[in-house]
Amino acid sequence: MSDTSQLPLAVDMDGTLVHSDTLWEACLRLLAERPWLVLLLPFWLLGGKTAFKQRLSEHVRLDPQTLPYNQPLLEFLQAEKQRGRPLWLVTASHPQTANAVADYIGLFDGVLASDARCNLSGSHKAERLVETFGEGGFVYAANAAVDLKIWRRAAAAIVVNAGPGLTQRANSVTALERIFPRPGATDTLKTLLRAMRLHQWSKNGLIFVPLVLSHSWGATDLVMHTLLAFIAFGCAASAIYLVNDLIDLEADRLHHEKRHRPFAAGLLPLPWGIAMIPVLLVVAFTIASTVNSHFMLVLVIYLLLTTAYSLFLKPVALLDVLALTSLYTLRIIAGALAIDVPLSYWLLAFSMFIFFSLALSKRFSELYNLKQKPEGKQTARGYHTEDLPVVSLFGISSGYLSVLIMVLYIHDLQADSLYDQPLWLWPVAIAVLYWISRIWLLAHRGVLHEDPVLFAIHDRTSYIVALLVAICLLLAL
């Protein structure tokens, strides 16, 4: 095989240099920033793919700094540039996006992108490369089956993020200069499950609270209804988490932990996430239909509120935490309606105050972490780092009010009718007082996970408190 390492190297962008697809990214950014314009997407597409990209570029500008780049390929390109090899970015993306990426990377000698006349993909890209470098006068780095048309006319191929099948097909039409394997290719199912955030299903454990507090755990049919409600809520929640991940790509990539999420990191194609959302919703409502109509109604309200939170309420200070509080309380309401037991106003009041406190602790931790990076921005989702004291004040006060509500409940007649020894509920109130105080103490020390619920799942002390609470409740019975 002749040495091709001196020939110009043409590099594809979507799926190759970038683990994601910038066209899908632009559509999702439009959904996040101007959701009302999403209804126009089908009409824009009627004008052809080139016109579609042009219309998108008029409303959306992707930040090249936040895109998930293929680091091994990028390091290879840097080494090739240092030894003098010509590098070209060749992509079907709109010139605005292509030039922004090329300027940010700072390695390319030129850019070939789609224009008003032609969508630079497949055979069109092959012709443009031959016009620029001559037949067999270039090496092409890409990742998809459509690139076989280009590899046939290239001196060699660099196969990126592809499986063994495509690699063999590329090798059958041209020489292989190098292969960059797909990251995490053997863990696709695990990555899909991680994108669904199954660990977040723990929050849906609140659906079991009415079953436990109404002392109905001995009724098999009620337990089964609660279990079905839990699964339905889990599927619906996973669908919403996917929506959040898809429209928060840029923000997640700037976050020290969220940048590792599957879609933010480019470990999964964005269309997979879009396709999974309706599938999960169908499963959720199919299961919910076997519970009862009231539960289905709460599930609809939950989805509407979570969608409003994702699209509109998340950046609005205080309204965001009120929405999160309502979402937690809705889970308790759903659990009660699933087994048709009366809703306790004591329980609803307690849940509103304690979850308002926990939601504020989440925002407090985010701001605290942000404040530790003075070189970065000092605002996040409608809050400023200067708001830390007042956010703390609101959160601690709300947490202590939840304990007060519990103490008042202990002396309520309902407590006497449900419990033979209601005095054993006093240690429960003390345990909750200790736990909520500890959460805020850790938040002020900067060691609280930004999601206090997930922190509690991995916190040994929280398990000890939960065990003590369970023992006291049994003694109170």
Q: Which two tokens stand for residue 434?
A: 């200790």
Vertex 405 angle, CA 475 and 392, to 5°: 115
Residue of 359, 439, 353 lying closest to 398 (CA atoms): 353
What pLDDT score does 56 carry?
A: 87
pTM score, whole prediction: 0.82
**Alpha carbon distances (Å) from 211 to 228, 382, 415:** 13, 37, 16
Report how far apart, in Å, the C-alpha atoms of 132 and of each of 10, 13, 101, 110, 137 are.
11, 18, 21, 11, 9
* CA distance linking residue 219 with residue 211, whole number of Å: 9
CA dihedral sign, ordered 373, 375, 378, 380 = negative
Specify the residue for token string 């696709």: 188
Instruction: Print the SS3 string covering the chain.
Output: CCCCCCCCEEECCECCCECCCHHHHHHHHHHHHCHHHHHHHHHHHCCCHHHHHHHHHHHCCCCHHHCCECHHHHHHHHHHHHCCCCEEEECCCCHHHHHHHHHHHCCCCEEECCCCCCCCCCHHHHHHHHHHHCCCCCEEEECCHHHHHHHCCCCEEEEECCCHHHHHHHHHHCEEEEEECCCCHHHHHHHHHHHCCHHHHHHHHHHHHHHHHCCCCCCHHHHHHHHHHHHHHHHHHHHHHHHHHHHCHHHHHCCCCHHHCCCCCCCCCHHHHHHHHHHHHHHHHHHHCCCCHHHHHHHHHHHHHHHHHHHHHCCCCCHHHHHHHHHHHHHHHHHHHHHCCCCCHHHHHHHHHHHHHHHHHHHHHHHHHHHCCCCCCCEECCEEHHHHHHHHHHHHHHHHHHHHHHHHHHCCHHHHHHCCCHHHHHHHHHHHHHHHHHHHHHHHHCCCCCCHHHHHHCCHHHHHHHHHHHHHHHHHC
pLDDT of residue 356: 97
Cβ atoms 215, 249 nearer than 8 A: no
The whole-number pLDDT of residue 184 equals 55
Give the pair of three-digit tokens for residue 106.
């700072």
- Buried b or exposed e, range 51-86, using 16+ CB within 10 angstroms: ebbbbbbeebebebeebbbbeebeebbeebbeeebb
Distance (Å, rounded) from C-alpha 145 to C-alpha 169? Answer: 9
pLDDT in tens, the chain (477 residues): 467 878 999 999 999 999 999 999 999 888 888 888 888 888 888 888 888 888 888 888 899 999 999 999 999 999 999 999 999 999 999 899 999 999 999 999 999 998 877 888 888 899 999 999 999 999 999 998 999 999 999 999 999 988 888 889 999 999 998 999 876 545 778 888 889 988 888 889 999 999 988 887 778 889 999 999 999 999 999 999 999 899 888 888 887 788 888 998 888 889 999 999 999 999 999 999 999 999 999 999 999 999 888 878 888 999 999 999 999 999 999 999 999 988 888 899 999 999 999 999 999 998 888 887 765 556 667 888 889 999 999 999 999 999 999 999 887 755 566 778 888 889 999 999 999 999 999 999 988 876 787 788 888 999 999 999 989 888 887
pLDDT of residue 315: 86
pLDDT at 329: 94
